[in-house]
């Protein structure tokens, strides 16, 4: 009976996903992530890039204007490694600003598409059913890139088009630091799985309520060929989901928070997993992933009785060439719980908050076995009159 219920639920979930795919309005998704490879080097670090091919699965054209017009997608790449039972984001790119929609029919065969390309004249819109390819070279070209921090509101995708690529006041950075910059040693982790993730955010898609499906990931395998890294495709794309779902396949629990930011839906996901290690102990790993929230996350609190204080770990992908801080989060253990936190926005507007398109890791070891409990997220940009945080369900040590 339980299995029958689960199967029925799965079918309903699939139907709801398909229904979302044919929702009214402009609806951009990432149809394909491909051609991932080394682009450049900086010392011991490798700059990675990939091609992205987007699809408008909605029934209204999506605006695709060129800077300084802000009505176009802001495109980012993220890179993840899953090893030893945990997933972590190794790198995140700057924003690539869309500039011309080619309106091809590349997405016609994917299950999410429900119409053929209805192309029109010009490239200022991505028409219903149509696709647009940006090659790996275009996605790493410095002339197309700007800091993520220039997107002043990631929920509504608001920014000043005249300053989108203005680096006044920013630290100096090389072109490699503006794409996916990873340590070469991190590409050699034995038994690891790797994932390339792409995200498109744009104002009219967000306004139409279609921003939940803007992220797609693909498993890749780093291979060294003639002295350069190629990230060979291992599996087809998992469309309309973040790479965190690969961890769910390996037993992690995912909790999803939907927020309403001035009428726009945004999403924060929290992954958690408790796994047995030596001497009757358990290692707990947590990932807080901000998909598109402008509110962002400033602190994370987890019930943590009987934890090994020397085992506490925090890690996060660097924001290279940005005005944002990369300072590690502090942790505080008291009254059977642990809180990791960065500075509040009132103290430092550029503190190392969990901003859009970013996943931060937290970990510790405990003698207690796993149990589903409530944890807390504290927001960074608390809206006037809004909640200061929210509760999420995680796997943590039993009380």
Domain segments of the chain as ranges: 12-250, 251-399
Give the pLDDT score at 22: 56
Convert the pLDDT of each residue in 121-173 to its tens digit: 789 999 999 999 999 999 999 999 999 999 999 999 999 999 999 999 999 99
The pLDDT of residue 385 is: 85
C-beta separation of 291 from 302 below 8 A: no
DSSP helix/strand/coil, 166: coil
Mean model confidence pLDDT for the chain: 93
How far apart are alpha carbons 156 and 60 in whole angstroms? 18
Q: Cα separation of 57 and 118, whole Å? A: 11
- The pLDDT value recorded for residue 8 is 32
pLDDT for residue 119 is more than 50: yes
pLDDT band at 28 (very low <50, low <70, confident <90, very high): very high
Task: Note the pLDDT tens digit of each residue in 72-93.
Answer: 999 999 999 999 999 999 999 9
Instruction: Please give the residue that has the higher pLDDT: either 157 or 12.
Output: 157
Burial of 153 (0-12, 13-18, 19+ CB in 10 A): middle
> Which region among 115-119, 150-154, 162-166, 212-216 has the lowest average model confidence (pLDDT)?
115-119
Query: For residue 257, is pLDDT > 50?
Result: yes
Q: Is the entire prediction scored with pTM above 0.85?
A: yes
| pLDDT given for residue 350 in this prediction | 98
pLDDT at 242 over 60: yes
Between CA 107 and CA 31 the distance in angstroms is 7
Task: Using alpha carbons, select from 135, 90, 128, 83 the residue that is nearest to residue 108.
Answer: 128
pLDDT of residue 19: 38
> What CATH number does the domain located at 251-399 have?
2.60.40.1170
The predicted-structure confidence for 221-239, as pLDDT tens digits, reads as follows 999 999 999 999 999 999 9
H or E segment at 126? strand 125-126
CA 165/CA 185 separation, integer angstroms: 31
Tell the residue number behind the tokens 């040590």, with chain if given: 397
Q: 3-state SS of the chain: helix, strand, coil percent to 5?
A: 15, 45, 40
List the one residue out of 41, 33, 42, 98 whose CA is nearest residue 69.
Answer: 98
pLDDT at 399 over 70: yes
pLDDT (0 to 100) of residue 77: 98
């Amino acid at each position: 009976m339980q299995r029958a219920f689960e199967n029925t639920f799965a079918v309903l979930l699939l139907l709801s996903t398909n229904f979302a795919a044919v929702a009214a309005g402009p609806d951009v998704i990432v149809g394909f992530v491909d051609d991932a490879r080394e682009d450049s080097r900086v010392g011991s670090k490798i700059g990675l890039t990939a091609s992205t091919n987007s699809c408008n699965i909605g029934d209204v054209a999506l605006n695709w204007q060129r800077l300084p017009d802000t009505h176009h997608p802001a495109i980012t790449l993220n890179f993840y490694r899953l090893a030893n039972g945990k997933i972590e984001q190794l790198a995140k790119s700057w924003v690539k600003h869309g500039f011309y929609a080619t309106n091809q029919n590349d997405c016609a065969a994917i299950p999410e598409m429900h119409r053929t390309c209805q192309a029109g004249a010009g490239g200022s819109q991505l028409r219903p059913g149509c696709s647009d390819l940006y090659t790996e070279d275009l996605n790493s070209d410095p002339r197309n890139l700007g800091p993520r921090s220039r997107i002043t509101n990631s929920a509504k995708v608001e920014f000043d088009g005249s300053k989108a690529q203005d680096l006044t006041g920013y630290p100096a950075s090389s072109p490699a630091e503006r794409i996916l910059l990873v340590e070469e040693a991190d590409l050699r982790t034995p038994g690891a799985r790797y994932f390339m993730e792409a995200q498109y955010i744009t104002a009219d898609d967000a306004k139409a309520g279609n921003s939940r499906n803007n992220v797609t990931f693909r498993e890749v395998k780093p291979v060294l060929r003639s002295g350069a890294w190629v990230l060979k495709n291992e599996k087809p794309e998992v469309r309309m989901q973040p790479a965190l779902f690969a961890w769910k396949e390996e037993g992690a629990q995912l909790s999803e928070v939907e927020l309403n930011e001035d009428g726009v839906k945004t999403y924060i996901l929290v992954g958690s997993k408790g796994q047995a290690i030596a001497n009757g102990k358990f290692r707990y790993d947590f990932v807080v992933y901000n998909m598109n929230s402008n509110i962002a996350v400033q602190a994370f609190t987890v019930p943590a009785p009987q934890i090994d204080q020397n085992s506490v770990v925090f890690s996060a992908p660097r924001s290279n060439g940005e005005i944002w801080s990369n300072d590690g989060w502090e942790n505080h253990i008291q009254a059977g719980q642990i809180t990791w936190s960065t500075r509040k926005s009132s103290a430092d507007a550029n503190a190392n908050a969990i901003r859009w398109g970013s996943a931060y890791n937290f970990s510790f070891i405990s003698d207690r076995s796993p149990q589903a409990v409530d944890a807390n997220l504290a927001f960074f940009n608390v809206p006037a009159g809004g909640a200061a945080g929210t509760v999420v369900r995680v796997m943590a040590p039993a009380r």
